[in-house]
Amino acid sequence: MAARVGLSHALLASSSLARNPPPRARLLPYPTLLPLPTYRRSVSASASALPSLRRRRPFAARAMSQPPEAAGSPYAAELAAAKKAVALAARLCQTVQQELVQSDVQSKADKTPVTVADYGSQILVSLVLNMEVTSGSFSMVAEEDSEDLRKEGAEEILEHITDLVNETLAEDGSFNISLSQEGILSAIDSGKSEGGPSGRHWVLDPIDGTKGFVRGGQYAIALALLDEGKVVLGVLGCPNLPLTSICNLNGNSSGDQTGVLFSATIGCGAEVQSLDGSPPQKISVCSIDNPVNASFFESYEGAHNMRDVTGSIAEKLGVQAPPVRIDSQAKYGALARGDGAIYLRFPHKGYKEKIWDHAAGSIVVTEAGGIVTDASGKDLDFSKGRCLDDLDTGIVATNKQLMPSLLKAVQEAIKEKNQAPSPL
> From the CA atom positions of the chain, what is the Rg in Å?
21
Name which of 74, 191, 83 is nearest 135 in CA terms: 74
Asked if residue 205 belongs to a known ligand binding site, the reply is yes
Q: Is 207 annotated as a binding residue?
A: yes
Is there a contact between 374 and 403 (Cβ–Cβ < 8 Å)?
no
Cβ-proximal residues to 217 (8 Å cutoff; 6+ apart), any chain: 209, 240, 251, 252, 300, 326, 327
Q: Confirm or deny that 156 is annotated as ligand binding.
A: no
* Residue 145: active-site member: no
Single out the residue of 215, 240, 340, 345 nearest to residue 285, CA to CA.
340
Kindly report the number of other CB atoms within 10 A of residue 67's CB atom.
18
For 129, 132, 190, 279, 288, the CA distances from 79, given in Å and listed in that order, are: 10, 10, 20, 15, 30
Q: Which helix (DSSP H) or strand (DSSP E) does residue 206 occupy?
A: strand 200-208
Q: Do the Cβ atoms of 164 and 46 come closer than 8 Å?
A: no
Three-state DSSP string of 324-383: EEECCCHHHHHHHCCCCCEEEECCCCCCCCEHHHCHHHHHHHHHCCEEEEECCCCECCCC
User: Which of 196, 220, 197 lies closest to 207 in space, CA to CA?
Assistant: 220
Torsion of CA 396, 401, 407, 409, to 10 degrees: -110
Is 357 assigned a ligand-binding role in the annotation?
A: yes
Exactly one of 95, 104, 115, 118 is catalytic; name it.
118
State the number of CA atoms in the 13 A half-sphere of 78 facing the CB.
23
Distance CA(11)–CA(195), nearest Å, equals 31
Q: 410: buried, middle or exposed (CB in 10 Å: 19+, 13-18, 0-12)?
A: buried
339 is in an annotated binding site: no
Rounded Cα distance between 222 and 360, Å, is 6
To the query of whether residue 265 is one of the catalytic residues in this protein, the response is no
* Stretch (H or E) spanning 274: strand 269-274
- List 210, 265, 393, 398, catalytic entry: 210
Tell me the binding residues for Mg(2+): 143, 205, 207-208, 357
Just list the catalytic residues.
118, 210
